[in-house]
Amino acid sequence: MVDIVSPATARKHTAHLSWEVLLTVILAGSLALGRLLSSVFLQTDNLGNILLDVTEISLMALPMTFIIVTGEIDLSVASVLGASSALMGVLWHMGLPMPLVMALVVTGGAAAGALNGWLVVGLELPSLAVTIGTLALFRGLAYVLLGDQAVADFPASYTAFGMNPLGATFIPQPFAIVIVGAVLFGIVLHATPFGRSLYAIGANPSAARFSGIDVSRAKLRLFVLSGLVSAIAGVIFTLRFTSARGDNGEGFELAVIAAVLFGGVTIFGGRGSLYGVLLSLLIVGVLRNALTLVDVSSETLTIVTGLLLLSSVLIPNLVAGWRARRDKRLVAARR
Q: pLDDT by residue (tens digit) across 27-68? A: 999 899 899 988 899 898 999 999 999 999 999 999 999 999
Cβ neighbours of residue 229 closer than 8 Å, sequence gap 6 or more: 59, 60, 62, 63, 109, 181
279, containing H or E segment: helix 274-293
Most confident range (mean pLDDT) of 19-23, 169-173, 320-324 is 169-173
CATH numeric code, 18-334: 1.10.3470
Could you write out the DSSP letters of every residue in 180-199? HHHHHHHHHHHHSHHHHHHH
> How many angstroms from the chain centroid is the CA of residue 260?
6
The pLDDT of 235-252, averaged and rounded, is 92
CB-CB contact of 219 with 118 (8 Å): no
Closest CA to 119 of 227, 196, 205: 227
pLDDT band at 20 (very low <50, low <70, confident <90, very high): confident
Mean pLDDT score, 58-80: 96
* pTM, rounded to two decimals: 0.88
Q: How far apart are CA 118 and CA 29, in angstroms?
A: 43
Confidence of residue 262 (pLDDT cuts 50, 70, 90): confident
Which pLDDT score, from 0 to 100, does residue 301 have? 74
Residue 165's φ and ψ, nearest 5 degrees, are: -75, 165
How many CA atoms are closer than 13 Å to the CA of 5, on its beta-carbon side? 8
Spatial distance between the Cα atoms of 317 and 329, rounded to a whole number of angstroms: 18
Q: 166 burial class (0-12, 13-18, 19+ CB within 10 angstroms)? A: middle
pLDDT band at 316 (very low <50, low <70, confident <90, very high): low
102-114 confidence digits (pLDDT tens) = 999 999 999 999 9
Residue 252 reports pLDDT greater than 70? yes
Identify the band that residue 141 occupies on the pLDDT scale cut at 50, 70 and 90.
Answer: very high
What's the confidence (pLDDT) of residue 277?
93
- Listed by start position, the domains of the chain span 18-334
Chain mean pLDDT for the chain: 88
How much of the chain, in percent, has pLDDT values that exceed 70? 91
Which residue, 130, 81, 140, is CA-closest to 108? 81
Beta-carbon contacts of residue 187 (< 8 Å; ≥ 6 apart): none
Q: What is the pLDDT of residues 181-231, one digit of tens each?
A: 999 999 999 999 999 999 999 999 999 999 899 999 999 999 999 999 999
When mean pLDDT is compared across 103-112, 189-198, 239-248, 289-298, the lowest value belongs to 289-298
The residues, ordered by sequence, that sit 6+ positions from 264 with a Cβ below 8 Å of its Cβ are 16, 19, 20, 23, 271, 272, 273, 276, 277, 280, 312, 316
Please tell me which residue, 237 or 331, carries the higher pLDDT value.
237
> Mean pLDDT, to the nearest integer, of 136-155?
91
Residue 270: other Cβ atoms inside 10 A: 20
Q: By mean pLDDT, which of 46-55, 114-123, 324-333 is the weakest?
A: 324-333
Q: Is the pLDDT of residue 89 over 60?
A: yes
* 187 to 181, 191, 194, 264, 270: CA distances (angstroms): 10, 5, 10, 18, 17
Contact status, residue 235 vs residue 38, Cβ threshold 8 Å: no
Q: Please spell the DSSP secondary structure of 144-157, one letter per residue.
A: HHHTT--B----HH
Contact by Cβ (8 Å): 309, 261: yes
Pair 289, 46: CB distance under 8 Å = yes
Highest mean pLDDT among 31-40, 182-191, 267-276, 292-301: 182-191
Find the mean pLDDT for residues 165-186: 92
